[in-house]
Structure 1
Amino acid sequence: MVHVDLHAVTQPVGIMRIMAVILTGMCFILVATVGHVSSPYWAWCMFTWCFCFFFTLGIVVLEFTTVSTRVPFAWDDFTAAFAMLAGLLCLSASIIYPTFFACKVCHRAIGASVVSWVCFGVYVGEVVIMRLRPSGQTSGFLSTLPGIMKMLEIFFACLIFMSLETGQYSSSPGLQWCIAVYSLCFIFALLIILLTLGQLTIYFPFSFDMLAIVYNVLAAVMYTTAMVIWPLYSFRNNKRPGDCGSLCPWDKLVVVTFMTIFNTIVYTLDTVYSIRLVFCVNRE
């Protein structure tokens, strides 16, 4: 039976979530009224605000109706992880949208950018509150350092996919290998998160921790090759055009290069930490 819990919307975390719902909705409406722009960066920003709006609203509704107490996974772990992810998404939108789509006389675009930064601060505040309160000291996978790094890996991969231009890599085997690396690592990182969140790892006939270590090592090696191959094949005999303005395809190659470097670092740290966790900490 469903009961109503007023405490879910009157406690500080609940108030933060209601503010986030309002602010992300404002961002979406302001940008929608400006008009559609045919750009993956514009689509990313709109997706970010829409995604955060509906998921945060869903969390508020589930806690208000106490349905959250019946979900088959660690709810506190999920909400803490979502707040971190939503903060990252809003941070990226807060940087991307004003950089490419705002101007001095674009009042609604400026307003959306400011509201997005405020929304980022709200999600950061939610994470801080959940970490400081005694009941917010979660121990689930997504709230741990390996879980956070997995979310970062997926986040950087999404930025890579958003910056890829159709036809940039169709005639280059080297760039095709990089696309395969980005895609495979994204899929397997997402699978690890879903399996762990759904507590399905106990059904594996072998150690899931060892499987994760093997995956991390392979992913780190694959990303290292992509970190070398992508700029080598992308910028060889390809200087920046003189008329390269906003949203220039050449600049997107630079974005993919840096996101590849960042993800290589994250995968390397994830590998080192998981090895240390399994072979050193767990054996003490």
Structure 2
Amino acid sequence: MPVTVTRTTITTTSSSGPGFPTTVGSPRALTQPLGLLRLLQLISTCVAFSLVASVGAWTGAMGNWSMFTWCFCFAVTLIILIVELGGLQARFPLSWRNFPITYACYAALFCLSASIIYPTTYVQFLSHGRSRDHAIAATTFSCIACVAYATEVACVIFAFISNPYLYQHQPALEWCVAVYSICFILAAVAILLNLGDCTNMLPIPFPSFLSGLALLSVLFYATALIIWPLYQFNEKYHGQPWRSMDVSCGNRHTYYVCSWDRRLAVAILTAINLLAYVADLVYSARLVFVRA
């Protein structure tokens, strides 16, 4: 008697995009944009600590911190991928709706700190040779991991503002959405210029260019950090200061993110992105000062 094997794929709605269906419990989850982004996070952190471990290129508190950061981020990202591939969100002990994005925020900051601390406190003092080459390569992959985690956080902002109802009624809120889009595009342009080795085409040195972009992004995000909460949560500007005032929050569906929660999430992510741009401004300004 012939036997027919049927492959089952479980589909549900997860935190990778509020209100957007995501295929889980299947290898196809890795072919989606967020899955590919997490694969990049996994590979870059794995390569970073592997390069350093292969030559023992870490000593002292700062070296240990960098090594811990890459190993920790690799391990947690691997757990996230396993949970989503296996469709195990319901069995996870924490709220899966909030865990991946919260972790991505911390991982971006961790990898940013490692990308700054490791080369400035350790790599520059290494003599030329195999250890130094591995350490420089590890720093490069650490930067890639930082960008990958930060991209996940930035992309989540666009998922939360996917409903035009949140901002179309106020020009000030439309400005905030423009800020998120402009800064994202500027960051993407800077990354593409660097990866494509096209920095010599710029009329100014690349570090100065990065400093200018970072300063512009900080100024833009500072306005958004003030305007978004003011118009969303202040009754004087027709905002809703309390969650109970939003009738859409009465839906108790597990994976549903109501309008008020989206507004709050965008406000929090705006603050996180502003801190990231401030850190980027400090780092890029330091590069300009060193070269001067």
Unaligned runs of 5+ in 1: 1-29, 58-82
Assess, with a 3 A threshold, how the Cα gap between structure 1 residues 149 and 273 changes in structure 2: closer, same or farther: farther
Q: Confirm or deny that 1:178 pairs with 2:185.
A: no
**Residue number in structure 1 paired with 2:63:** none
Q: What's the offset of the Cα at 1:198? A: 1.2
**Residue number in structure 1 paired with 2:153:** 156
Partners of 1:207 and 1:148 lie apart in 2 by 25
Partners of 1:240 and 1:264 lie apart in 2 by 25
Decide which of 237, 243, 249 is 2:250's aligned counterpart.
Answer: 243
Kindly indicate whether the alpha-carbon contact (under 8 Å) linking 1:152 and 1:266 is maintained by their aligned counterparts in 2.
Answer: no
Partners of 1:88 and 1:218 lie apart in 2 by 35
Choose between structure 1 and 2: higher helix proportion: 1
For residues 88-129 of structure 1, the C-alpha deviation after alignment (integer angstroms, 9 at most, x for no partner) is 9948967x97xxx94xxx45x78xx7xx99xx9xxx9xx99x
Kindly indicate whether the alpha-carbon contact (under 8 Å) linking 1:149 and 1:270 is maintained by their aligned counterparts in 2.
Answer: no
Kindly indicate whether the alpha-carbon contact (under 8 Å) linking 1:163 and 1:255 is maintained by their aligned counterparts in 2.
Answer: yes
Number of residue pairs matched by the alignment: 207
Q: What's the offset of the Cα at 1:184? A: 0.4
Decide which of 30, 34, 41 is 2:10's aligned counterpart.
Answer: 34
Unaligned runs of 5+ in 2: 1-6, 44-69, 123-129
Decide which of 229, 232, 238 is 1:231's aligned counterpart.
Answer: 229
Partners of 2:259 and 2:200 lie apart in 1 by 45
Kindly indicate whether the alpha-carbon contact (under 8 Å) linking 2:41 and 2:148 is maintained by their aligned counterparts in 1.
Answer: no
Assess, with a 3 A threshold, how the Cα gap between structure 1 residues 150 and 222 changes in structure 2: closer, same or farther: farther
Q: What's the offset of the Cα at 1:269? A: 1.5
Q: Equivalent residues in 2 for 1:37-52 (5 A)?
A: 37=13, 40-41=17-18, 43=22, 46=29, 47=32, 48-52=34-38
For residues 71-91 of structure 1, the C-alpha deviation after alignment (integer angstroms, 9 at most, x for no partner) is xxxxxxxxxxxx99x959948
- Give the counterpart letter for 1:231 in structure 2: P
Assess, with a 3 A threshold, how the Cα gap between structure 1 residues 188 and 90 changes in structure 2: closer, same or farther: same
Assess, with a 3 A threshold, how the Cα gap between structure 1 residues 38 and 253 changes in structure 2: closer, same or farther: same
SS state of the match for residue 171, structure 1? coil
Q: Confirm or deny that 1:282 pairs with 2:279.
A: no
Decide which of 125, 134, 142 is 1:136's aligned counterpart.
Answer: 134
Partners of 1:207 and 1:191 lie apart in 2 by 15
For residues 206-252 of structure 1, the C-alpha deviation after alignment (integer angstroms, 9 at most, x for no partner) is 32222221111111010011011111111123120362544222111
- Give the counterpart letter for 1:171 in structure 2: H
SS state of the match for residue 35, structure 1? strand
Q: What's the offset of the Cα at 1:205? A: 3.1
Partners of 2:76 and 2:259 lie apart in 1 by 23
Kindly indicate whether the alpha-carbon contact (under 8 Å) linking 1:181 and 1:226 is maintained by their aligned counterparts in 2.
Answer: yes
Kindly indicate whether the alpha-carbon contact (under 8 Å) linking 2:161 and 2:262 is maintained by their aligned counterparts in 1.
Answer: yes
Q: What's the offset of the Cα at 1:193? A: 0.7
Assess, with a 3 A threshold, how the Cα gap between structure 1 residues 89 and 205 changes in structure 2: closer, same or farther: farther
SS state of the match for residue 49, structure 1? helix
Q: Confirm or deny that 1:263 pairs with 2:260.
A: no
**Residue number in structure 2 paired with 1:194:** 192
Partners of 1:44 and 1:226 lie apart in 2 by 33
SS state of the match for residue 136, structure 2? coil
Partners of 2:80 and 2:168 lie apart in 1 by 29
Partners of 1:88 and 1:181 lie apart in 2 by 34
Kindly indicate whether the alpha-carbon contact (under 8 Å) linking 1:213 and 1:275 is maintained by their aligned counterparts in 2.
Answer: yes
Partners of 2:222 and 2:40 lie apart in 1 by 36
Partners of 1:254 and 1:156 lie apart in 2 by 15
**Residue number in structure 2 paired with 1:211:** 209
For residues 27-76 of structure 1, the C-alpha deviation after alignment (integer angstroms, 9 at most, x for no partner) is xxx9x83324387245498432355459989xxxxxxxxxxxxxxxxxxx
Q: What's the offset of the Cα at 1:271? A: 1.0
Partners of 2:286 and 2:181 lie apart in 1 by 27
Q: What's the offset of the Cα at 1:257? A: 0.8
Assess, with a 3 A threshold, how the Cα gap between structure 1 residues 194 and 180 changes in structure 2: closer, same or farther: same
